[in-house]
Amino acid sequence: MTASRLGWGLLVALICFALLAPLGDPLGPFRQSLTKALSGAEAAAPFGYDHLGRSMFSRLAHALRLSLLLAFAATATAAAIGIAFGALASWRAGWIDRALSLLADSMLALPALLMVLMMGVILSSTPLAFWAGLAAVQWIEFFRLTRSAARSHLASPAAVAATLQGFGPIWIFRRILWPEIGPMLRTTIAFGVANSIAAIAALGFVSVGMRAPTPELGLMMVELLPSWREAPFALLQPVLACFTLLLALNLIAGARK
Amino acid sequence: MNTVLRALSFRLIQAGGVALVVGVMSFLMMQAMPGDMAYRIAAARYGYDLVSADLADAVRAELRLEAGPFAQFLRWMGDLAQLDMGRSLVSGQPVWQEIAHQLGASLQLAAAAMGLSMLIGPPLGIFAGLHPGGWFDRVLLVVAAGFRAVPQFLLGLVLIVVLAVQLRLLPAAGHGSLAHFVLPALTLALGLAAASARIARDAMAAVAASPHYAFARAKGLTEAQILRRHGLRNIAAPLVTYLGLQFVMLAEGVVVVETIFGWPGIGHALIHAVFHRDVPMVQGTALVMGLGFVLLNAVVDLIVRHIDPREVQA
């Protein structure tokens, strides 16, 4: 329990930093002052400057905003699609169930990074590709969760009684299925968001994710790697931010059993 | 026997589903590319140097490209069904030839990482599971959670900076000698080991608390004998099942780690193919990864059935 509380604390702190830091920031993530490249902290840039003289404070906040927004959007979409399909599959059964399960099993075999990369070729906008690719991988987990929960509960006396009394599928979903699925969602959502954030950073790091001037955690790491001897703290910032974010989400997800 | 056939036919259908999904995605990628479709296909078939307007028209007529996207889609899936993947848009070589060339390097790396993670993860997990709640168990829990929170590219970055650049113990990138294996394989193995240690620990703790384990102890067997004769096989079933599921994590890791360490495998090829918008190569590598998952899990199904012939698991 304390681990999960620590996780929430770290996550809330990072979200607050991402939301509030740009408000009182005079420089912005793109303003360059090349004479200050890799120099240390000062009042205008509390975290120092990167190799092109841009404020690390501002870039870090914008990078966290981007990662969190994309990851939550992708996971929320995946949850909506997965739960809807899962409920549909167990309610309608028959060939709809078989077709959706086959689709889920087939997409399960494809790694998330591969899906994002393929979406990146199809869609012209990179954030859109991340959103679609990550959602396309993550809906499977929500689908399986909902389907298996629904299977055991739709046959329960409570659901049968509700059907006999004429309650519709939406009422049964809301009053009988949702209380079962809801508590399990926290772990799945936290892992989904963590995986999304890791995927965005990993693709940024191998230069096929976000494009150059955009502040993004993985991209910042690979940009600052060549100058890590001169400015180890500049490289350490995105590394620590990424690690703390993932640790927080893992702690929130972790309290199983 | 019947259940074995059912499991295998499920994997066969799954393989078909994977090919369908990859085919649809690749067709959409082809459609999304700028430029004239006929020129692109002609270039893919005959090489960039030989493409001319006549050749493009010939392709247009032959494939009836005017027939609209639906007919093109059927044609594309037909080629895929005949395992005709076309040629790489960049090198002009047949996709199969390119992939066969790179797959070897990836399999070597994946096998080395798997082997290394098996040496690290399960033994630690088994030891922790034999003493649940002990100090080692608690330390392992924290360390494993820490490693799972570190994405593979970050671990690779730390290992390069510490072991290769700072201490100069190992080469940071490259392919060829045994020393080149260590860093990429270790990067992959640590993440995998953290997860398999947890699985082994939970399985071991459950087995060690079971009545048959207590009976073996009451019979007077030594701890080592009990573990060998009554413990290991029981842990093996969930562990092997988990290895099959880990393949996605491994494939994803291979893509990132190969790119970071300059390893000439299919992950590296995939990133390059995406960079150059080389759709036939993307389709080929995606298909190899997806079908690799299905094949490995078919093998895992058979092994698990051999380890645990009781047909309790659904």
Tens of pLDDT along B129-180?
Answer: 888 888 888 888 888 888 877 888 888 888 888 877 777 777 766 666 777 7
* Residue A38 within any structural domain of the chain: no
Decide if pLDDT at B100 tops 80: yes
Residue A145: both structure tokens together: 């969760």
- Rounded (10°) angle between helices A112-122 and B232-261: 40
* Residue A257 within any structural domain of the chain: no
* Residue A32 within any structural domain of the chain: no
Is the CB of residue B141 less than 8 Å away from at least one CB of chain A?
no
The backbone torsions φ and ψ at residue B52, rounded to the nearest 5 degrees and listed phi first, read -140, 170
- Decide which of B201 and B248 is more confident: B201
Q: Which residues of A touch B18 (CB under 8 A)?
A: 106, 109-110
Contact B17 A105 (CB under 8 A): yes
A199 to chain B, minimum CA–CA distance in Å? 8
* Residue A31 within any structural domain of the chain: no
* Residue A150 within any structural domain of the chain: yes
- Identify which of B271, B132, B138, B274 has the alpha carbon closest to the alpha carbon of residue B204: B132
Q: Residue A29, class by beta-carbon neighbours within 10 Å (0-12 exposed, 13-18 middle, 19+ buried)?
A: buried
DSSP character string of A158-205: HHHHHHHTT--HHHHIIIIIHHHHHHHHHHHHHHHHHHHHHHHHHHHH
Decide if pLDDT at B107 tops 50: yes
* Total tally of structural domains belonging to chain A: 1
The pLDDT score that the predictor gives to residue A257 is: 39
* Residue A25 within any structural domain of the chain: no
Is the CB of residue B138 less than 8 Å away from at least one CB of chain A?
no
Amino acid at B126: I
A170-204 per-position pLDDT tens digit: 888 888 888 877 777 878 888 888 888 888 888 88
The pLDDT score that the predictor gives to residue A33 is: 75
The pLDDT score that the predictor gives to residue A240 is: 87
d(CA B20, CA A250): 34
Q: What percent of chain B has pLDDT over 90?
A: 0
B190 to chain A, minimum CA–CA distance in Å? 16
Q: What is the mean pLDDT of residues B84-94?
A: 72
- Decide which of A194 and B82 is more confident: A194
Contact B26 A106 (CB under 8 A): no
* Residue A233 within any structural domain of the chain: yes
d(CA B137, CA B142): 9
Tell me the C-alpha to C-alpha distance, in Å, between residue B48 and each of B30, B37, B45, B52, B91: 17, 14, 9, 9, 9
Q: What is the mean pLDDT of residues B198-212?
A: 85
Decide if pLDDT at B103 tops 80: yes
- Identify which of A85, A29, A106 has the alpha carbon closest to the alpha carbon of residue A60: A29
B303 to chain A, minimum CA–CA distance in Å? 19
Decide if pLDDT at B64 tops 70: no
Tell me the C-alpha to C-alpha distance, in Å, between residue B142 and each of A92, A166, B75, B147, B198: 44, 51, 53, 9, 11
- Give the CATH number for residue A164: 1.10.3720.10
Is the CB of residue A193 less than 8 Å away from at least one CB of chain B?
no
Question: In this structure, are residues B107 and B185 in contact, taking their beta carbons and an 8 Å threshold?
Answer: no
The pLDDT score that the predictor gives to residue B90 is: 67
- Identify which of A230, A217, A224 has the alpha carbon closest to the alpha carbon of residue A52: A224
User: Please, which residues have CB within 8 angstroms of residue B107's CB and are 6 or more apart in sequence?
Assistant: none
For this complex, say whether ipTM is above 0.85.
Answer: no
Q: What is the mean pLDDT of residues B220-243?
A: 82
B161 CB neighbour count, 10 Å cutoff: 18
**Average pLDDT of every residue of chain B:** 80
* Residue A47 within any structural domain of the chain: no
Decide if pLDDT at B35 tops 70: no
d(CA B63, CA B56): 11
| Domain limits for position A133 | 3-18+62-251
**Which range, A53-57, B173-177, B185-189, B247-251, is most confident?**
B185-189
Q: Which of B21, B29, B148 sits opposite A106 (nearest CB)?
A: B21
DSSP character string of A13-40: HHHHHHHHGGGG-SSTTT---GGGTT--
Confidence category of residue B73, pLDDT binned at 50, 70, 90 = confident
d(CA B116, CA B137): 21
- Regions of chain A where pLDDT drops below 70: 1, 255-257
d(CA B17, CA B251): 19
